[in-house]
Amino acid sequence: MAERGRPRNFDRAQALDRALMAFWQSGFAATSMNDLVEAMGINSPSVYAAFGSKEALFAEAVQHYHTTYADELPAALKSAPDAAAGIEAMLEAAVELFTRPDRPHGCFVVNSVASNAPNGIEIEQTLKDLRQGRSKQIAERLTEDVRGGRLRDDTPVQELSDLYAAILQGLAQGARDGLAKERLLTIPRHSRALISPWMSDKNSR
């Protein structure tokens, strides 16, 4: 017999993924505990025993999204031969992530704005850090190309990073609004034009 207070046997990772999908679809405020119980396929006492609270479950879902789904974006950015190609690949990966037919559309982190997330300083800061993290990752890749001579020394790294991060958020909102994947994919194709004025001669050919 199982010990009193312990959750029933279930796949915790699978339950967390299902909770993420519920939050991703409707947001924190609109997703009730009943919704989560139904989505996760476990009873309410087991949810509380395994995750602590709705707020704690949401916080864990945020990290799960970041490491399981959104990790494709920085991987695409870093694996390309140069920043221009990396940014284009990252934007394309974002469109793929935001428009998958088997998942809610848009970006879970972008969708989780302050008005639709738990009223806790820690989780709000986590969401803010993740949103701002994209700009930092892009800036690091641009800086790498400046140091490698693929971009000129006067490249406005921070301005370009913020601009590309804003485009990422725009793609997320467009997907959330139901814009077709084919339409969204036209945007990454123009991303190189934003950086081309600062490409070195040997890297712009």
CA atoms of 83 and 78, how far apart (whole Å): 8
- Residue 46 CB contacts under 8 Å (≥ 6 apart), including other chains: 7, 8, 10
Give the global pTM: 0.87
Backbone torsions φ then ψ of 151, nearest 5 degrees: -125, 150
Tell me the CATH architecture of domain 69-203. Answer: Orthogonal Bundle (1.10)
Q: Is 190 helix (H, G, I), strand (E, B) or coil?
A: helix
| Share above pLDDT 70 across residues of the chain, in percent, rounded to a whole number | 90
CA atoms of 110 and 112, how far apart (whole Å): 5
Q: What is the pLDDT of residue 128?
A: 84
pLDDT in tens, 27-81: 888 899 999 999 999 999 999 999 999 999 999 999 999 999 999 999 999 999 9
Q: What is the pLDDT of residue 187?
A: 97
- Domain 12-65: which CATH number of 1.10.10.60, 3.90.25.10, 1.10.1740.10, 3.90.550.10: 1.10.10.60
> What's the one-letter identity of residue 196?
S
CA atoms of 190 and 185, how far apart (whole Å): 10
Q: Residue 151: beta bridge partners?
A: 199
Domain boundaries, the chain: 12-65, 69-203
